[in-house]
Amino acid sequence: MRRTLYIASAITVVAGFALFAMDSENVNLPGSDIDSSRKLTISSPSKTLSSDSATESIQLSSIYDEVLIVGRGDTLMALLVDADVAPANAEMAIRAMSQIYKPRQIKPGQKIVLSLKPKLRAKTVDLVAMKISPNVEQDIFVTQKAGNFAATVVKRPLTKLAVHSTGTIESSLYVAGIKAGLHHETLAEFIQIFSFDVDFQRDIRHGDGFDVIYEEYLERNGAVVKAGNILVAEMTLSGKKNRLYRYKTRDGFTDYYNSKGQSVRKALLRTPIDGARISSGFGKRRHPILGYTRMHKGLDFAARRGTPVYAAGDGFVEYAGRKGSYGKYIRLRHNGSFKTAYAHMHRYAKGIRNGRRVHQGQIIGYVGSTGRSTGPHLHYEVHKNGRQVNPRSIKLPAGRNLTGHELRAFKTKVATLKKQYANLTAQKLAKNQ
Ligand SMILES: [Zn+2]
């Protein structure tokens, strides 16, 4: 690849116009640098440009780009025809594209770049190339060569960068995190990592802090397109530091461990929902609808309708469906002795059906008010050996601890992460001075 580029630039030095010829080949082999749609603009499906071909130069420069934004209910065919592409031309392009990307998958807001070429004495234009980006990681190119269309996927070159962020909590971790520039996803992951040990409603005090190293994916122009993994996560609670490291074991499981190689993962999450407040505890209470005193066999978390509910632990969906006064209800079986149940849901998450495997922290449904309920909340139960127990008082079996060469490999990784951490904080200090 590098050699090809070298040759291309050599030719460019010899004769400037040869660049067009090289680029027109690139259109048919979009492997290298096609995130700029301009390259498609100057390229032509025609043969090599000869130096005296003035008319062809005019034709070349007349190729133009048109950027379309998909609207609600738009079809690709309609969009292309609206852009004056001849229907037969559009159909062929779409057929070529559907080999790798179905035209139905286009979504409102998506950008489509067309390279068009006017036709002499015709109302329609010739579609030279089309670029659709289904996600931040790839582009799909449909290019025409002598009346035939071909589609290719081009991975966008994203750069992964480690970023350091730190902050002091004044009101909530969420507010402090956003203020420090953390992405929503990173913040949600951070909360998830500590949710085994930290009760985010009760344990957070004014002046507590967080410190995190996480990855960001950048496009060539420097724009951050998505957040990556958290590498080091630290929380300072009442002056006590709690630092965790991301590590993947040889059998392929990724987890967060303290410096001794002990996993922080517990069998069950204490709170299977983010940022919710307990509106009703476990035990005897006067029932808000029935009016008499009875046992409340779970915890109620007040939260807005649609708030995601997480699986409290790894396991299987034992039941997902309507269940009397519980409304829309899910029960998960985690191991021989523990089950968890979630009631009054607005709806289930995609793929949540009886018998399905779920992972801890996976979204299983959304808060609602179905069944006998006075307003949107999650009713959460932990069943131990067939009986409901107080989720706050159960002893949660601990996660895995690293030993032997796995522990040695982990310590090496920690040393690397510590070095990275030191470098990043030093850079930051230098920048702030
Ligand atoms: Zn309840």
What pLDDT does 50 receive? 38
- How far is the centre of ligand 1, averaged over its atoms, from the C-alpha of 334 (Å)? 21
The one-letter amino acid at 380: Y
Per-residue pLDDT at 19: 26
Query: Which residue, among 174, 162, 157, 101, has the nearest Cα to 131 in the 3D structure?
Result: 101
For 59, the enclosing helix (H) or strand (E) is: helix 54-61
The topology (CATH level 3) of 159-257 is Nuclear Transport Factor 2; Chain: A, (3.10.450)
Q: How many CB atoms lie within 10 A of CB 153?
A: 13
Q: Coil, strand, or helix at residue 201?
A: coil
Reading the chain (433 residues) residue by residue, the pLDDT tens digits are 333 233 222 222 222 222 223 333 333 333 333 333 333 333 333 333 333 444 444 455 588 899 999 999 899 999 999 999 999 999 999 999 999 999 998 999 899 999 998 887 778 899 999 999 888 888 999 999 888 999 999 988 889 999 999 999 988 888 899 899 898 889 888 987 886 667 676 678 889 999 999 999 998 888 888 889 999 999 999 999 999 999 998 877 788 999 999 887 766 887 898 877 888 888 877 766 767 777 889 999 999 999 999 999 878 899 999 999 999 999 998 866 789 999 999 999 999 999 888 888 899 999 999 999 989 999 999 998 899 999 887 765 556 789 999 999 999 999 999 998 888 888 877 877 6
pLDDT at position 229: 95
Q: Which residues pair with 342 in a beta bridge?
A: 330, 380
CATH 2.70.70.10 in the chain is located at: 277-389
Side chain identity at residue 355, one-letter code:
G
For ligand 1, the distance from its centroid to the CA atom of residue 185, given in whole angstroms, is 29
Side chain identity at residue 300, one-letter code: D
Domain 3-155 top-level CATH class = alpha beta
CA of 278 to the centre of ligand 1 (A): 10
Task: Give the class (CATH, top level) of 277-389.
Answer: mainly beta
Q: Which residues surround ligand 1, an ion (CB under 5 A)?
A: 298, 300, 379
Q: What distance in angstroms lies between residue 272's CA and the mean position of ligand 1's atoms? A: 14
Minimal CA–CA distance to 149: which of 165, 129, 132, 133? 129
- Given a contact cutoff of 8 angstroms between Cβ atoms, the answer to whether 228 and 214 are in contact is yes
Taking the centre of ligand 1 as the mean of its atom positions, its distance from the CA of residue 99, in whole angstroms, is 50
The pLDDT, as a whole number, for residue 49 is 36
Residues of the chain within CATH 3.10.450.350 domain(s) are 3-155, 159-257
Residue type, 28: N
Q: In whole angstroms, what is the distance from residue 130 CA to residue 31 CA?
A: 15
Compute, in angstroms, the gap from residue 192 CA to the centroid of ligand 1.
23
Judged by DSSP in three states, 58 sits in: helix
Query: How many CB atoms within 10 Å of residue 164?
Result: 19
Interval between CA 118 and ligand 1 midpoint (Å): 67
Residue 353 structure tokens: 């059906």
Ligand 1 centroid vs 378 CA: distance in angstroms?
7
